[in-house]
Chains A and B, each alone.
Chain A
């Protein structure tokens, strides 16, 4: 066994153990399982949110975009910051309603605020369809990271199976608390790996970050300003994309749901204040992608540039640490995604759609079964049809972002009606699907999801004004 392999396997096992232990002393009811008993303070909340936000995309995608597209990758820094700024105002209000009405999931929010079970089911289904490809992406990323970092000693398939079995197991036993504790390991490893590699690689290859950029400016100055090396990603695309993804960010069911786990609205607000700082290390990942652009030109898959360059630069044991960090970086978001999808299926599709009389204990049992269903489905897709969900993934962000008008109007506008929100949501999803699948994205230089979002908001407002005010629980 090589040192790299030993480190990767060791970290995966230790993480899973921490995940198991995290839930041991707590009775696992629906409240504890889905929202950690609403007891998370600032520190654990930050670790969990940070743990969810930095996914394998951060490792592979941010550097891959820096490598293949150049400046458009900067959008990642901006949209996160916009999302946290929005969350500063919106999330505490969502938390308050959640606390008052005992909500666990995002469809709960829609179903209660607009007093419409059907709308809750619709939101749940859109949420699940958006989560599945995202989950598959985490799995595929994990497989790729472990296979490359272990120099092929562990195949992608083995890595995916092992890591995912362990992840589902700790989701079953510990719920959200398990994810939060594994996130601690993940955040430490990730930050250490990114810190060392991000400063180290430009230094080793060029003698420093400034010199690396100097070389890049001489070789390909266009790569460093929008649209970089991606002609369709001009500054209009960047602006509309950061707006869409910034608004869509906390509309992901798993991130929306994390808001309910906070101890108080203060915790959420403080969290929103510090989260932008966590964006800064992403710059280090860009540096690696840019260095790879100079020293490893012509890679077929830019997403591999990070790991390929790390392997070329560092000894095997250190590659193992980076690989391990990458693996846990997939496991934490994957665990929360599985948990959210399972809760959505059990609570908002099974109970809301078919068995309204089901008690919480029954929903909890069904949730656990759903963990297995969701995990297995994602596994099958990841292993057998790796490209089948790509189309869904294209539209995942555009899809969840369509919840934004409903949430904001539901919180802050008394006149909004369920008809308005439902109509807006359906039109938004249909528009996004039409533009993306019809290859009209970008649409006149704007992100297609953003166009759909605008239409969605407009329809929601107009239909609300035209329809009779519906009874609904106004925010206190």
Chain B
């Protein structure tokens, strides 16, 4: 697998890990943060962070493409 793709997959899977397998551990009301029950705050936080991680993934992928161009 290309290195950029691998890095991109790693970046993109971080929010996924936070939003799926981590759920049983954050399924609670306390602490209430910004007025929101903790589980809702957690989900919202990671939804909002997802674009950041996808942006990093995008940069990793583009590094691959740039490398390909040089090789030509």
Contact with A along B35-66 (1 / 0, CB 8 A): 11101100110111011001101100100000
Contacts of B44 in A (CB 8 A): 77, 280, 283
User: Could you give 29 example pairs across A and B, Cβ below 8 Å?
Assistant: A71-B39, A71-B40, A74-B40, A74-B43, A77-B47, A82-B16, A82-B19, A82-B20, A85-B16, A88-B58, A89-B8, A89-B9, A208-B35, A209-B36, A211-B35, A213-B32, A217-B32, A221-B29, A224-B39, A235-B27, A238-B23, A239-B23, A242-B20, A243-B20, A269-B61, A273-B51, A276-B51, A277-B51, A286-B40
A316 to B12, alpha carbons, bound, how many Å?
A: 45
A430 touches B (CB below 8 Å): no
Contact with B along A207-230 (1 / 0, CB 8 A): 011110110010001001110000
A78 touches B (CB below 8 Å): yes
A145 to B66, alpha carbons, bound, how many Å?
A: 51
A308 touches B (CB below 8 Å): no
Measured CB to CB, the closest approach of chain A to B59, in angstroms, equals: 11
User: 9 smallest A-B Cβ distances: which pairs?
Assistant: A210-B35, A276-B50, A273-B54, A224-B37, A81-B47, A235-B24, A78-B19, A225-B27, A81-B50
B67 touches A (CB below 8 Å): no
A interface residues with partner B (beta carbon < 8 Å): 71, 74, 77-78, 81-82, 84-85, 88-89, 208-211, 213-214, 217, 221, 224-226, 235, 238-239, 242-243, 269-270, 272-274, 276-277, 279-280, 283, 286
Q: A84-B54, A88-B57, A235-B24 are in contact. List 16 more A-B contacts (CB 8 A).
A: A77-B44, A81-B19, A81-B47, A85-B54, A88-B12, A217-B32, A224-B29, A224-B39, A225-B28, A225-B29, A235-B23, A239-B23, A270-B58, A273-B51, A273-B58, A276-B54
Contacts of B28 in A (CB 8 A): 225
Task: Report whether over half of chain B's contact residues are helix, strand or loop; otherwise say mixed.
Answer: helix
Q: Which residue of B lies closest to A276 (CB)?
A: B50
A209 to B27, alpha carbons, bound, how many Å?
A: 20
Interchain Cβ contacts within 8 Å, total number: 98
Pair A274/B51 contact, Cβ less than 8 Å: yes
Contacts of B40 in A (CB 8 A): 71, 74, 224, 283, 286
A77 to B49, alpha carbons, bound, how many Å?
A: 13
Given A88-B12, A225-B28, A239-B20, A210-B43 contact (CB < 8 Å): no
Chain B residues touching A, range: 20 to 34
Q: Which residue of B lies closest to A211 (CB)?
A: B35
A328 to B40, alpha carbons, bound, how many Å?
A: 29
Given A235-B27, A243-B20, A280-B48 contact (CB < 8 Å): yes
A280 to B21, alpha carbons, bound, how many Å?
A: 21
A225 to B25, alpha carbons, bound, how many Å?
A: 11
Q: Which residue of B lies closest to A73 (CB)?
A: B40
Contacts of B54 in A (CB 8 A): 84-85, 88, 272-273, 276
Contacts of B16 in A (CB 8 A): 82, 85
Pair B27/A85 contact, Cβ less than 8 Å: no
Pair B50/A84 contact, Cβ less than 8 Å: yes
Measured CB to CB, the closest approach of chain B to A413, in angstroms, equals: 13
Contacts of B39 in A (CB 8 A): 71, 74, 224-226
Pair B19/A213 contact, Cβ less than 8 Å: no
Contacts of A279 in B (CB 8 A): 47
Contacts of B29 in A (CB 8 A): 217, 221, 224-225
Measured CB to CB, the closest approach of chain B to A452, in angstroms, equals: 19
> Which residue among A81, A209, A226, A274 has the maximum number of chain B CB atoms within 10 Å of its CB?
A81
Q: Which residue of A lies closest to B44 (CB)?
A: A283
Which residues of chain B (4-23) have a CB below 8 Å from chain A?
Answer: 8-9, 12, 15-16, 19-21, 23
Measured CB to CB, the closest approach of chain B to A437, in angstroms, equals: 28
Measured CB to CB, the closest approach of chain A to B51, in angstroms, equals: 5
Pair B37/A225 contact, Cβ less than 8 Å: yes
Pair B20/A78 contact, Cβ less than 8 Å: yes
Measured CB to CB, the closest approach of chain A to B57, in angstroms, equals: 7
A270 to B9, alpha carbons, bound, how many Å?
A: 16
Contact of B35 among A78, A89, A213 (CB under 8 A): A213
Contacts of B47 in A (CB 8 A): 77-78, 81, 276, 279-280
Measured CB to CB, the closest approach of chain A to B26, in angstroms, equals: 9
Given A85-B16, A88-B12, A210-B34, A269-B43 contact (CB < 8 Å): no
Contacts of B36 in A (CB 8 A): 209-210, 213
> Which residue among A77, A85, A217 has the maximum number of chain B CB atoms within 10 Å of its CB?
A85
